[in-house]
Amino acid sequence: MAAREASKEVIVRCNITVLFEPGQEDTAHFFEVHNVNVVASLPCYSKKNVEQQRGRGVFDKSIEGLKILNQLGYGNPETGLVLDLVYNPGGAFLPPNQDKLKQDYKKELKELFNIEFNNLFTITNMPIKRFLDDLLRQGKFESYMELLVNNFNVQSVDEVMCRTLISVSHDGELFDCDFNQMLNLPLGNKKRTIWDIESLDSFSEGEKIKTANHCYACTAGAGSSCGGALK
Q: What is the pLDDT of residue 4?
A: 53
Domain shared by 3 and 99, yes or no: yes
What's the pLDDT at 164? 84
How deeply is 208 buried, as exposed, middle or buried, from its count of CB atoms within 10 A (0-12, 13-18, 19+)? exposed
Are 115 and 136 in a shared domain? Answer: no
> In whole angstroms, what is the distance from residue 19 CA to residue 35 CA?
17
Q: Are residues 111 and 16 in the same domain?
A: yes
User: Same structural domain for residues 99 and 66?
Assistant: yes
Is there a contact between 47 and 41 (Cβ–Cβ < 8 Å)? no
Which of 122, 149, 180 finishes a domain?
122
Residues 117 and 138 in one domain: no
Can you give the pTM of this predicted structure? 0.84
The verdict on 188 and 218 lying in the same domain is: yes
Q: Indicate if 44 and 86 belong to the same structural domain.
A: yes
Count how many domains the chain has.
2
For residue 41, the enclosing domain spans: 1-122
- Residue 100: in which H helix or E strand, if any? helix 98-113
| 105, 35: one domain | yes
Average pLDDT of adjacent 10-residue blocks, the chain of 231 residues: 62 91 94 94 91 90 97 95 94 94 96 96 93 95 97 92 87 91 86 84 75 93 84 70
User: Same structural domain for residues 118 and 136?
Assistant: no
- Domain boundary (70, 93, 122) is at 122
Which segments within the chain are labelled E, that is strand? Answer: 11-14, 37-41, 83-87, 119-122, 167-168, 174-175
Question: Are residues 168 and 84 part of one domain?
Answer: no
> Which of 122, 143, 167 lies at the terminal end of a domain, its last residue?
122
Q: Are 174 and 190 in contact (CB under 8 A)?
A: no
- My answer on whether 18 and 87 are in the same domain is yes
CB–CB of 119/77 below 8 Å?
no
- Pair (2, 111) in one structural domain: yes
pLDDT at 35 (0 to 100): 92
